[in-house]
Amino acid sequence: MNYFTLPLEEWTNRFVDDWLLPVTGEFFDSVSDGLRTFVDGVTDLLIAAPPELLVLILIIISWKFSGKGLALFALLGSLYLGSVDLWEAAMQTVAIVIVSTLISIIIGIPLGVLAATNKTMASIVRPILDFMQTLPSFVYLIPAILLFGLGNVPAVIATFVFATPPAVRMTTLGIQQVPADVVEASKAFGSTKWQLLYKVQLPLALPSIMAGINQTMMLALSMAVIASMIGAPGLGSVVLEGISTVNVGLGLTGGLGIVVLAIIMDRITQGLARKNKK
């Protein structure tokens, strides 16, 4: 089928080497520094804090947002992580997930609002989201390394890119699903755009937005694991080590740790979404 040759690979490399890195390198360096301080700070905090205190807080949150069952599961899961000596690795993963989820929310929700209220914005945002979601997650890793080096910073960036689309989409969906007559009523009584947004549209879109945050967090966890391939510390690197040394036991202990985190994060954010629906 090669009727002609498309040197996309060469073009891309030349673009990156000749323009992207020399011109924007400084900018990315400063972003990288800021982000590193943030992620490292959160990681250090989680590791330095007494695990018993963190587990207690986790149990209370689980109980409040989900119920007794999850609280018990959180206790047992924490005991497991401690007993296989993966507590520190788990905290490193949690730090990456929390930081990247926060960035996804801070950028994703306003973007979702814009896309819901502005047609031009929607037609720009939608194809970008489609692109982000269909691109295999591994592909993100390469530019992330190029621009941000190795470690947890590119991990956060790749995770952010991978996990943001549901936050944007579910916010847009939630706002578009607010009944037209309710929006009309708000306008008819003389609401400004802002008043319409924060008194009517956002409160009514909240269940949908919370569901988006739940999905974002789950995607963030899966990406944080994959990001171990670019040197992100945490449970992912444990599994990676298990794979590369053909150590099935190590792979299993690390994998179970990820499952424990996934279940707890999922149930807590789901509980949050349910609470907002009522």
Partner 1 sequence: MKKIEVNNLTKIFGSHPQQGLKRLMNGEQKENILAETGMTVGVNQASFSVEAGEFFVIMGLSGSGKSTLIRLVNRLIEPTSGEVLIDGQNIVEMGKNELIETRRKKLGMVFQQFGLFPHRTVLQNVAYGLEIQGVKKEERNKRAQKSIEDVGLHGYENSYPKELSGGMQQRVGLARALANDSDILLMDEAFSALDPLIRKEMQDELLNLQNKLGKTILFITHDLDEALKLGDRIAIMKNGEIVQVGTADEILENPANEYVSNFVKDVDRSKVLMASHVMKKPAVHMAEKSGALAAVRKMEDAGASSIFVVDKDNNFKGLLTIDNAINAYKSDLPIETVLIEDIHEISPETPLNDLFGVAVEAKYPLAVVENGKLLGIVSRVSILSGLVLGKKEVTTP
| Chain positions contacting partner 1, by CB under 8 A | 179, 181-182, 184-192, 195, 199-200, 203-204
State the minimum distance, in angstroms, from the CB of residue 272 to partner 1: 16
Long-range contacts (CB closer than 8 Å, 24 or more residues apart) made by 130-139? 132/161, 132/162, 132/164, 132/165, 133/165, 137/162, 137/222, 137/223, 137/226, 138/226, 138/229
Q: How far apart are CA 169 and CA 264, in angstroms?
A: 24
Identity of the residue, 145 or 204, whose beta carbon is nearer to partner 1 in the bound complex = 204
Q: Residue 132: is it exposed, middle or buried by C-beta count within 10 angstroms (0-12/13-18/19+)?
A: middle
Give the 3-state secondary structure of residue 95: helix
Task: CB nearer to partner 1: give 261 or 272.
Answer: 272
Name the residue nearer to partner 1 (CB basis): 92 or 186: 186
Q: How far apart are CA 202 and CA 184, in angstroms?
A: 15
Question: How far apart are CB 187 and partner 1 at their closest, in Å?
Answer: 6
Shortest approach of partner 1 to residue 181 CB, angstroms? 4
The minimum distance between CB 135 and partner 1, in angstroms, equals 35
CA neighbor of 92 nearest in space, from 234, 212, 227: 234
DSSP designation for 5: -
Q: Closest distance between partner 1 and the C-beta of residue 90, in Å?
A: 37
Q: Write the CA distances from 29 to 141, 227, 229, integer angstroms.
A: 17, 19, 21
Give whichever of 50 and 190 is closer to partner 1, judged by the CB atom: 190
C-beta closer to partner 1: residue 14 or 199: 199
φ, ψ dihedrals at 6, nearest 5°: -105, 110
- Nearer residue to partner 1 within complex by CB, 4 or 189: 189
The least CB distance from residue 203 to partner 1, in Å, is 5
Q: How far is the CB of 143 from partner 1 (least distance, A)?
A: 40
Query: What token pair was written down for 141?
Result: 């890793």
The CA-atom distances, in angstroms, between 66 and each of 213, 274, 276 are 16, 9, 13
> Which of residues 24 and 192 has its CB atom nearest to partner 1 in the complex?
192
